[in-house]
């Protein structure tokens, strides 16, 4: 029976004790199966320890950032001044990304409207909403995506009572959502029909 020496534990073991590796001349790994699994369990242990540590000190990291926010913003501005080329390529990348997502709209505006929308929407989610109701809303958005695949016109999920409204402010709740065409939604804007 053929045997091979493991380079880690220096034991001579049968070839079945090694997993395959086509890059090696004999088609087997240099480490035996036992050594490989031992090694991985070790890295797993360290990874878990690191994550646990991070979890335990999460608040500390957050507080640190809050205290030193100005310092870090200052630093990043300094870095940007020293690396104009890197900043340029990064912003170009971002513009390309948003161009693909929304053709015909400037990247800056897309980002702004996205931020604003996200902010208002999360402000309009009442705290008493149950998990099921949140899930229902997710399903409405998913349903729109499915309908979109078959629909020739662009569809939007609309708030029946607008959450940007000037007179009244609607809520981001399942019973305030409806799927309508994009053109209808744009005509409607933030008015109640």
Ordered alpha helix ranges (H), 20-68:
33-56, 58-67
Could you say which of 18, 29, 35, 137 contacts Zn ion (CB under 5 A)?
35
Which window, 35-43, 79-87, 95-103, 126-134, contacts Zn ion (CB under 5 A)? 35-43
Which window, 28-36, 71-79, 95-103, 142-150, contacts Zn ion (CB under 5 A)? 28-36
Name the helix (H) or strand (E) containing 157: strand 155-159
Handedness of CA 181, 183, 187, 190 (dihedral sign): positive
Could you say which of 8, 133, 148, 176 contacts Zn ion (CB under 5 A)?
8
| Nearer Cβ to Zn ion (39/108) | 39
Which window, 9-17, 37-45, 66-74, 154-162, contacts Zn ion (CB under 5 A)? 9-17
CA 131, distance to chain mean position in Å, is 21
Q: Considering the complex, what minimum distance in angstroms separates the CB of residue 14 from Zn ion?
A: 12
Could you say which of 18, 28, 29, 32 contacts Zn ion (CB under 5 A)?
32
The answer to whether 28 touches 15, Cβ cutoff 8 Å, is yes
Which positions touch Zn ion (CB under 5 A)?
6, 8-9, 32, 35
């Amino acid at each position: 029976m053929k045997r091979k020496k493991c380079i880690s534990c220096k034991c001579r073991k049968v070839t079945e004790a090694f997993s395959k590796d086509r890059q090696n001349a004999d088609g087997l790994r240099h480490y035996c199966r036992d050594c490989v699994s031992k090694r991985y369990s070790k890295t797993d242990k360290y990874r878990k320890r690191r994550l646990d540590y991070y979890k335990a000190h999460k608040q500390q990291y957050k507080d640190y950032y809050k205290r030193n926010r100005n310092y870090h913003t200052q630093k990043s501005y300094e870095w940007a001044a020293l690396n104009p080329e890197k900043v340029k390529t990064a912003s170009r990348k971002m513009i390309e990304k948003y161009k693909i997502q929304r053709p015909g709209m400037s990247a800056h505006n897309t980002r702004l409207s996205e931020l604003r929308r996200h902010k208002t929407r999360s402000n309009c989610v009442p705290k008493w909403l149950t998990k099921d109701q949140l899930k229902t809303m997710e399903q409405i958005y998913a349903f729109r995506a499915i309908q979109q695949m078959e629909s020739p016109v662009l569809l939007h999920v609309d708030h029946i009572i607008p959450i940007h409204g000037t007179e009244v402010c609607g809520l981001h709740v399942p019973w305030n959502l409806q799927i309508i065409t994009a053109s209808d939604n744009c005509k409607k804007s933030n008015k109640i029909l």
